[in-house]
């Protein structure tokens, strides 16, 4: 689901060294099929040229509010009225103070005063400036007025200091913009999602696992967060980074995941279990590496705790969603699981499908409810599949 597509984004740029990073931001927004109107302060043009941003956005950059070439009417009103979202990055200490004080003395500040669209600020400055009580008071004023503040990142700053004050990474900014534009049909909901593989260690050098990457679970987490939910993921050892805005708890074994899920479950309205948890674990884990001193070796295994069954048994007041990774008789096996484990929904996928199996960015699933109703979701990105699954959960919560 692309919440930026066909949206009119006003990108305000102030006079700070981080202004150059907006080249990448504009490219990302255009790639997402958004229409980008760049508005620069005169000081911003000292750091990056309007021609560069004009080339990237495909639209004339606005700097002077008295530039009649911007339109036949009053330019700041036209820009303000057409905006679906306004973002200021970098937002300097001076500009933050100007808006907090209600001063509109340049094109960008007048656009912000006139718009009815949501407005986001990305403060970016020296760490000592950011910590200045006056700046912090002005930021609190902006929050009080209903503006959105994206917290700056931490690290090495252009001024030579190290600390908080960096312009947030572009993917973080884009995801925050998406969230502002997305429907809030999961607002107020707390969702717990398990994802990724578990590892069952044989000895310090070897373990039993599976090819799960955690992509589907993290796609669900991102989609739920975009739609207003508070989301926590419990993930195995994945190479995929958790999305912006998500609290992630790392675990290793099936036992670790079971204990963490049971510890967290009371605090959530919806629990979605996408993790590929090992069904068996070695009876004994060797403390030292097993040597190759025999031709054959047998390994005694025992069943791990079935986390889904425990959830279905103990948390009947919550919405419990399971995943079934199957290779044959997918729907019939999944219907059996939903009954045996007392689930509300189960999402089944064919892991033998090379286009939609482990590690793929695509998925093709069947969503099955308690009444054995089956909704087939064709092959599409895991991000889009995630939104379809959430739609089914919302419909279930409404009783439809």
Element counts in the chain: helices (H) and strands (E):
13, 19
Cα(212)–Cα(91) distance, integer angstroms: 41
Catalytic-role residue among 14, 23, 122, 159:
159
159 is catalytic: yes
| Residue matched to tokens 């200091």 | 161
CA-based Rg of the chain, rounded to a whole angstrom?
25
- CB neighbourhood size of 26 (10 A): 25
Pairing state of beta strands 280-282 and 301-303?
antiparallel
Give the DSSP letter string of 333-400.
HHHHHHHHTT-SEEEEEETT-TTTSTT-SEEEEEEEETT--EEEEEEEEHHHHHHHHHHHHHHHHHT-
Run of H or E including 171: helix 170-181
Cα(268)–Cα(245) distance, integer angstroms: 17
3-state helix, strand, coil in the chain (%, to 5): 35, 25, 40
Residue 70's contacts (CB-CB under 8 Å, 6 or more residues apart) are 60, 62, 78, 79
Which candidate, 170, 168, 153, places its Cα nearest to that of 32?
A: 170
Q: Are 308 and 273 in contact (CB under 8 A)?
A: yes
For residue 377, what are its two tokens? 């979701």
**Catalytic amino acids?**
159
């Amino acid at each position: 689901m692309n919440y930026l597509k066909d949206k009119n984004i006003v990108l305000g740029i102030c006079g700070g060294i981080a202004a150059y990073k907006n080249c990448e931001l504009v490219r990302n927004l255009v790639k997402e099929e958004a229409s980008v109107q760049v508005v620069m302060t005169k000081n911003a043009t000292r750091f990056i040229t309007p021609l560069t941003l004009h080339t990237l956005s495909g639209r004339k950059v606005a700097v002077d509010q008295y530039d009649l070439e911007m339109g036949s009417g009053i330019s700041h009103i036209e820009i303000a009225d057409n905006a679906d979202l306004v973002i200021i990055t970098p937002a300097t200490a001076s500009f933050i103070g100007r808006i907090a004080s209600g001063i509109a003395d340049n094109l960008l500040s007048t656009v912000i005063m006139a718009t009815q669209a949501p407005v986001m600020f990305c403060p970016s400055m020296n760490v000592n400036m950011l910590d200045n009580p006056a700046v912090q008071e002005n930021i609190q004023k902006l929050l009080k007025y209903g503006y959105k503040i994206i917290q700056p990142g931490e690290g090495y700053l252009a001024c030579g200091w190290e600390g908080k004050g960096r312009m947030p990474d572009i993917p973080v900014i884009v995801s925050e913009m998406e969230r502002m534009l997305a429907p809030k049909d999961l607002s107020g909901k707390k969702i717990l999602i398990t994802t990724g593989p578990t590892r069952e260690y044989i000895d310090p050098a070897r373990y039993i696992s599976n090819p799960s990457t955690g992509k589907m679970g993290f796609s669900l987490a991102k989609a739920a967060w975009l739609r207003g939910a508070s989301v926590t993921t419990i993930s195995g050892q994945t190479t995929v980074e958790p999305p912006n805005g998500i609290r992630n708890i790392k675990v290793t074994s099936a036992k670790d995941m079971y204990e963490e899920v049971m510890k967290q479950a009371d605090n959530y309205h919806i629990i979605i279990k996408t993790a590929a948890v090992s069904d068996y674990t070695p009876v004994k884990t060797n403390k030292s590496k097993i040597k190759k001193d025999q031709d054959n070796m047998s390994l005694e295994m025992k069943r791990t705790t079935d986390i889904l069954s425990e959830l279905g048994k103990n948390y009947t007041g919550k919405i419990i969603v399971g995943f079934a990774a199957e290779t044959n008789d997918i729907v019939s096996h999944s219907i059996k699981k939903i009954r045996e484990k007392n689930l509300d929904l189960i999402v089944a996928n064919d892991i033998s499908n090379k286009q939609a199996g482990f590690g793929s960015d695509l998925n093709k699933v069947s969503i099955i409810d308690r009444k054995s109703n089956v909704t087939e979701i064709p092959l599409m990105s895991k991000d889009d599949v995630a939104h379809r699954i959430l739609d089914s959960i919302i419909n279930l919560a409404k009783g439809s």
